[in-house]
Amino acid sequence: MMDWTDRHCRYLHRLLSRHALLYTEMVTTGALLHGDVPRHLRYNAEEHPLALQLGGSEPADLAHCARLGEQWGYDEINLNCGCPSERVQRGAFGACLMAEPQLVADCVKAMVDAVSIPVTVKHRIGIDKAESYDFVRDFVGTVAEAGCTTFIVHARNAWLKGLSPKENREVPPLRYALVHQLKVDFPHLTIAVNGGITSTAQVQEQLQHVDGVMLGREAYHNPWWLSEWDAAFYGAAPTGLTRELVEAQMVNYMEREAAEHGTPWYAIARHMLGLRHGVAGARRWRQVWSDHRLKGQAARDVMAQAQGAALVSA
């Protein structure tokens, strides 16, 4: 979700669900050790509960970055062992780390020793075309011994060669049964499943077998879905939210961001283009919010034009 789930995206998602745990895009240890720390770690107070996802493979570097995350107020540190991109592999982290479970365990122990907040791991069920359940079982067992108690498992293998990151989300088959078996074999661990889940009914089905569900691209492209979650999964009362109310709250946020940080509204608006997914007039509404000719206008004026266009074309 790099370049997708930035703080502006997460602000939108928090408007829609008060309870879902949000994750940052993956931040590499190199970016924090040698780059602009505030740029990578700044977030809105409204985003809690919020996990910082790190990418790296050096225990000492990860421990340092985990401490930074805790100092900045994050609620969880998550180590990415699932990203299959070749760019990430060249940095020797992401999914290729699954081939070195003891190294992952060393990384986790270094972070667990460095911070008092939870340290979790996101990973795949395997790498390349080896489909043995024993591989992921042994990986989880080794890393759990280092102090990790929560594993978020993408129910596909990661093919490290020959597939793009997009193809890696589509070509390797989904095998939810392996994730379910992890919960059977490690009942004391928190096991969450990820991959290919696009409806509330599917989430409810998965929750019969595991402790949690992580949603990625479906939540991004169809964010209004999040508005169902608090009532469906957390027992909360309906909020009375409407798409128009959320859009207006996002415009308030755009104005605040422009005043405080000079952020242009279109850098934020791109994350809410799916807000009217499946609704009549959505195409014209998206076109207005995406119109580069309107960049010089105020966000509130663009909203009025977008809503008007949606009504006309509905």
H helix intervals, the chain: 7-16, 29-34, 37-41, 59-71, 86-90, 101-114, 133-145, 165-168, 176-185, 200-206, 217-221, 229-234, 243-261, 265-269, 282-289, 299-313
User: Looking at the annotation, which residues are catalytic?
Assistant: 83
**DSSP one-letter code for 131:** -
The helix (run of H) or strand (run of E) holding residue 125 is strand 119-127
The helix (run of H) or strand (run of E) holding residue 27 is strand 27-28
Query: How many C-alpha atoms does 12 have within 13 Å on its Cβ side?
Result: 28
Residue in 309, 253, 246 with CA at minimum distance from that of residue 275 = 246
Could you count the other beta carbons within 10 Å of the beta carbon of residue 240?
A: 6
Q: ω into residue 49 within 30 of 0, thus cis? A: yes
**DSSP one-letter code for 196:** S
How many Å apart are CA 123 and CA 191, to the nearest integer?
A: 11
Pair of tokens at residue 185: 């074999």
